[in-house]
């Protein structure tokens, strides 16, 4: 089956004067790939990844251009054109994404960027976008769990922290208290799920949680000490700002990691700071 609004892996089965026909490996469904959208080295029997959609004449078409998000996913997109019936957003491919007027939480303007969910209209299979996200957040069906490693894209800074897209499929928040490095809107980061909430949102962090976080933090402290020549003025009374600046972790995590390293006799804690225990094999 060829899924509209998704990336499909298909086989090139025949060529025409205007393009190529592709076939699903599981069924006999076919889709047309215009020659202008085909790679120059395309060949028969080749397996190819394409995005499938309906054109204005309801013809099923394919393109090798892959959009920034497919149906069921979220992305931040820029408004490129506004009409009475809706607005068109830059989708990352030649075809712009329509967000109808009744799917706009607030009226959008050209050059603005908004968080958009990609949707498929039931009955017509038309792809459209929406900035009215509430019902999709509330009805989210999660395939992520507490502690999972995920891909996080910050989309907006708030009083509490950064609103983020998680694996392109969910919306969440990283609280300011969990951030120990500068984040850039639109950049992708590795993150971890702290809590999947009953309201459909996800609390995230940039650090592994629990004992795994401590293990990671102890390694970071050891590496930092080696880089500093074996000693540092940082200690358990240092300011949270100093610890964050040098090690990118909270004071609470730092103190817990120091305790673990001290018990393992990997470091010495003195009035001047901390240093590697040279009597202990590193």
**221 plus 270 within the same structural domain:** yes
CB-CB contact of 62 with 37 (8 Å):
yes
Q: What is the mean pLDDT of residues 9-14?
A: 95
Of 205, 225, 250, which closes a domain?
Answer: 205
User: Tens of pLDDT along 271-280?
Assistant: 788 888 876 5
**78 plus 38 within the same structural domain:** no
Does 69 reside within a domain?
no
**145 plus 196 within the same structural domain:** yes
Instruction: Please give the residue range of the domain that contains residue 80.
Output: 74-132
**197 plus 219 within the same structural domain:** no
Does 218 reside within a domain?
yes
Of 205, 221, 241, which closes a domain?
Answer: 205
Residue 132: closest CA among 88, 102, 108? 102
Q: Band of the pLDDT at 282, cuts 50, 70, 90?
A: very low
Of 167, 188, 205, which closes a domain?
Answer: 205
| CATH code for the domain of 234 | 1.10.10.10
Whether residue 68 has pLDDT greater than 90? yes
Q: How many domains does the chain have?
A: 4
**199 plus 214 within the same structural domain:** no
Q: What is the mean pLDDT of residues 9-22?
A: 94
Q: Residues 6 or more apart from 116 whose CB is under 8 A from it?
A: 69, 74, 75, 76, 77, 89, 97, 99, 129, 130, 131
Does 281 reside within a domain?
no
| CATH code for the domain of 176 | 2.40.50.140
Strands (DSSP E) along 131-169, which ranges? 149-157, 161-166
Strands of the sheet with 231-232, listed across from one edge? 231-232, 273-276, 267-270
**83 plus 44 within the same structural domain:** no
Does 126 reside within a domain?
yes
Whether residue 210 has pLDDT greater than 60? no
Note the pLDDT of residue 206: 86
Q: Say which range, 183-187, 211-215, 233-237, has the weakest mean pLDDT.
A: 211-215
Q: Residues 6 or more apart from 219 whose CB is under 8 A from it?
A: none
Note the pLDDT of residue 147: 82
The encoded tokens of residue 127 equal 């792809």
User: Tens of pLDDT along 220-243?
Assistant: 888 888 888 888 888 878 888 888
Whether residue 211 has pLDDT greater than 60? no
**214 plus 272 within the same structural domain:** yes
Does 2 reside within a domain?
no
Burial class (CB in 10 A: 0-12, 13-18, 19+), 106: exposed
Does 17 reside within a domain?
yes
Does 68 reside within a domain?
no
Does 95 reside within a domain?
yes
User: Tens of pLDDT along 39-55?
Assistant: 999 999 999 999 999 98
User: Tens of pLDDT along 131-170?
Assistant: 999 999 988 889 888 888 999 999 999 888 999 999 999 9
On the CB side of 218, CA atoms within 13 Å amount to: 18
């Amino acid at each position: 089956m060829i899924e509209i609004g998704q990336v499909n892996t298909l086989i090139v089965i025949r060529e025409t004067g205007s393009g190529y026909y592709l076939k699903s490996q599981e069924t006999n469904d076919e889709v047309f790939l215009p020659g202008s959208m085909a790679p120059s080295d395309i060949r028969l029997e080749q397996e190819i990844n394409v995005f499938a959609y309906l054109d204005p004449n309801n013809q099923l078409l394919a393109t090798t251009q892959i959009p920034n998000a497919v149906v069921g996913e979220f992305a931040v997109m820029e408004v490129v054109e506004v009409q009475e019936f809706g607005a068109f957003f830059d989708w990352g491919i030649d075809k712009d994404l329509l967000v109808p007027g009744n799917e706009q939480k607030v009226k959008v303007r050209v050059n603005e960027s908004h968080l958009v969910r990609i949707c498929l209209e039931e009955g017509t299979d038309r792809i459209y976008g929406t900035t009215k996200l509430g019902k999709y957040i509330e009805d989210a069906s999660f395939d992520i769990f507490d502690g999972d490693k995920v891909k996080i894209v910050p989309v907006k800074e708030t009083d509490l922290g950064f609103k983020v897209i998680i694996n392109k499929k969910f919306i969440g928040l990283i609280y300011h208290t969990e951030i120990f490095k500068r984040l850039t809107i639109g950049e992708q980061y590795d993150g971890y799920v702290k809590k999947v909430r009953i309201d459909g949102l996800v609390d995230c962090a940039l650090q592994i949680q629990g004992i795994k976080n401590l293990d990671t933090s102890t390694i970071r402290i050891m590496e930092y000490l080696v880089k500093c020549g074996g000693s540092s003025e940082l200690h358990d009374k240092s300011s949270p700002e100093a610890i964050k600046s040098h090690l990118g972790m909270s004071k609470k995590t730092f103190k817990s990691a120091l305790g673990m390293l001290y018990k393992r006799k990997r470091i010495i804690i003195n009035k001047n700071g901390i240093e590697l225990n040279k009597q202990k094999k590193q």
